[in-house]
Amino acid sequence: MDKIKNFYVNKRVLVTGHTGFKGIWLTNVLLSFGSKIAGFSINDNKRKTYEKLCEHNKVKNYYYDIKNIKNLESVIKKFKPQIIFHLAAQALVSKSFSNPHETINTNLSHDIDLLKTDKLLKIILFAAVFELMFKHNTPTKVIISEYLLASEYFLEKIQIGYLNAILDKIAKLIRKL
């Protein structure tokens, strides 16, 4: 444990999602190791819990939506982190059912820009995500394989690879492979 603690002493660490359950825990551990921390989270009701459970006055707190890349880039330029822990995500299952587009966009926003994604690819993606979320008796690999096979009739090879990468990432968020 001393090796880990010594590694983090005086390191500048950015934690996105620092006001969430895992973010609070990680921030507290890093503070105990002597890290210099910047936290980046949306300003919501989790902030009160964070302020009760964490020495928030020892953290440079930034309250922005993770989907706003300009704010995130600004914080990174200003703080100059040596390490980044990306924990920010829309994790509430009930919220994901009512607004799957927001859930997918929030959880993938740094890797994939859905606004620039082809409409047909988006339709296939949303159909596959629906099955991953609600067809619990169908194995993950079967769902992904079927959608990749079907997409061969509509999409270019590079788009199919892109679809595969997106579905793999989403599947890991929704299910265990």
* Domain end (from 34, 64, 86): 86
Specify whether 10 is located in the same domain as 76: yes
* Domain end (from 59, 86, 113): 86
* Domain end (from 52, 86, 120): 86
Specify whether 44 is located in the same domain as 104: no
Specify whether 56 is located in the same domain as 99: no
C-alpha distances out from residue 97 to 29, 43, 92, 93, 105, Å? 33, 22, 9, 6, 14
> For 62-71, what is the mean pLDDT?
85
Specify whether 97 is located in the same domain as 66: no
Q: pLDDT: is 58 or 96 the higher one?
A: 58
Q: What is the full DSSP assignment across 124-148?
A: HHHHHHHHHHH-TTS-HHHHHHHHH
Token pair for residue 130?
């629906």
Specify whether 6 is located in the same domain as 72: yes
Domain span including residue 81 = 2-86
Is the entire prediction scored with pTM above 0.75? no
Domain count, the chain: 2
**In what side-by-side order are the strands of the sheet with 59-63?**
59-63, 36-41, 12-16, 83-86
pLDDT the model gives residue 91: 56
Q: pLDDT: is 14 or 176 the higher one?
A: 14
Specify whether 13 is located in the same domain as 79: yes
> For 86-103, what is the mean pLDDT?
61
Q: Does 9 have pLDDT greater than 90?
A: yes
Specify whether 113 is located in the same domain as 161: yes
Taking only the tens place, the pLDDT of each residue in 115-172 is 555 677 778 888 888 888 888 899 999 999 999 998 888 778 888 888 898 898 888 8
Specify whether 46 is located in the same domain as 101: no
Which helix (DSSP H) or strand (DSSP E) does residue 39 occupy?
strand 36-41
C-alpha distances out from residue 29 to 15, 44, 96, Å? 12, 23, 30
Q: Does 105 have pLDDT greater than 90?
A: no
| CB distance 166 to 140 below 8 Å | no
Specify whether 144 is located in the same domain as 80: no
Domain with residue 22: its CATH number is 3.40.50.720
Specify whether 59 is located in the same domain as 118: no
Specify whether 111 is located in the same domain as 52: no
Specify whether 99 is located in the same domain as 129: yes
pLDDT the model gives residue 28: 93
Q: What is the mean pLDDT of the chain?
A: 83
